[in-house]
Amino acid sequence: MRRQFLEIGVLALAIGVATVWLGWWTVPLVGAAWGVARRGEGYPALTVAVSASLAWVLLLAVTSLQGPVGDFATAVGGVMGIPGWVLIGVTLAFPAVLAGTAAAVAEKLVTLRG
C-alpha cells in the first residue's frame, strides 16, 4: 500500500514536471511507459490515471493561488454551456483518461507481442 502511494506520488511528480516543461501530450507518453514497465503487476493503468489527475490537481492548485480559478471556472463554463465544476472535473479527468488508456493500450500491446 505504501509502495503504491509512493508510486502515485512519484508518477504525479513526473507527470507534473513533464506537463509544465514539455506539454500536455507527455501525459499519455508517461502513461504508456508506465503500462509497459508495470505490465502484469497490479493495476498500472489505474495507478497512472490517478497520478495524472493528482498532478493536474496540484498544478491547478498552484494556479489558483495566483487567481480566482473558482469564479473563473463558472464564467468559462458558462461560455461553454456547462457548470464551472464540470469544467474543473473535465480538466482533472482529461489527463487521467489519457494516462490510464495509454497505459492499458501499451500494456496490452506489449503483452500480445510477447
Partner 1 sequence: MKLELRAVVRLGVPAVVLAGTLYVGYVGYAGDRPVPVPPLGPFLHPTTGVWAVAAQDELPARVALRIPGTRDSVRILFDDRAVPHIFATRVEDAYRALGYLHARFRLFQLEIQTRATKGTLSEWFGEQALESDRSQRALGLAWSAERDAAALDSASTNGRFVLAYADGVNARIDELTSRDLPLEYRLLDATPQRWEPVNTFHFMKRMSYTLAYGHPDRLFERLTERVGAEAAAALLPLNSPIQEPIVPTGRNAPRFDAAPLPPPRLLAADHVATGSSAVGVQTFAGPPPGGMAATQASNNWVVAPWRTANGHALLSGDPHLDLTLPAIWFEAHLVVPGQLDVYGVTFPGAPPVVIGFNRDVAWSFTNTGADVLDYYEETLDDLEHPRNYRLDGAWRPLERRVEVYRDRKGRVLAIDTLYHTHRGPLLFHGGRARSMRWTVLEEESAVTAFLGLATARSVDEWLRLMQAFRAPIQNGVVADRAGEIAVISAGRYPIRPAGKPGLEVWDGTSSDSDWLGFLPPARFPFARNPAQGFLASANQQPLDPATAPFYLGAWWPSPWRAMRINQLLRADSAVTREAMQRYQTDPGSARADLFMPAFLDAAKRQRAAGDRGPTLALAARLLEEWDRRYTRDNERAILFELAMDALADATWDELLDPDDSTGQRRIFTPPGSVLASLLRHATSVWWDDRRTETVESRDAVLAASLVAGYDRALEKYGAPGEGGWRWDRVRQANIYHLLGYRSLSALNLPVPGGPGTISPLEGAGTEGASWRMVVELGPEVRAWGTYPGGQSGNPASPWYTDRLDRWIDGALDPLLFPRTPEDLPVERIVATFTVRGGQ
Dihedral angle, C-alpha 88, 91, 97, 100, nearest 10 °: -100
Which of residues 1 and 112 has its CB atom nearest to partner 1 in the complex?
A: 112
- Helices 44-66, 69-80: inter-axial angle, 10-degree rounding: 110
User: Should residue 80 be labelled a site residue for partner 1 when binding is judged by CB under 8 A?
Assistant: yes
Contact code string over 90-109 relative to partner 1, x by CB under 8 A = xx--x--xx-xxx-xx--xx
Angle at 75 between CA 91 and CA 50, to 5 degrees: 15
- Residue 78 CB contacts under 8 Å (≥ 6 apart), including other chains: 84
Contact code string over 12-51 relative to partner 1, x by CB under 8 A = -------xx--xxx--x----------------x------
φ and ψ at 38, to 5 degrees?
Answer: -110, 25
Binding site for partner 1 (CB under 8 A): 19-20, 23-25, 28, 45, 56, 59-60, 62-64, 66-69, 71-72, 74-80, 90-91, 94, 97-98, 100-102, 104-105, 108-109, 112
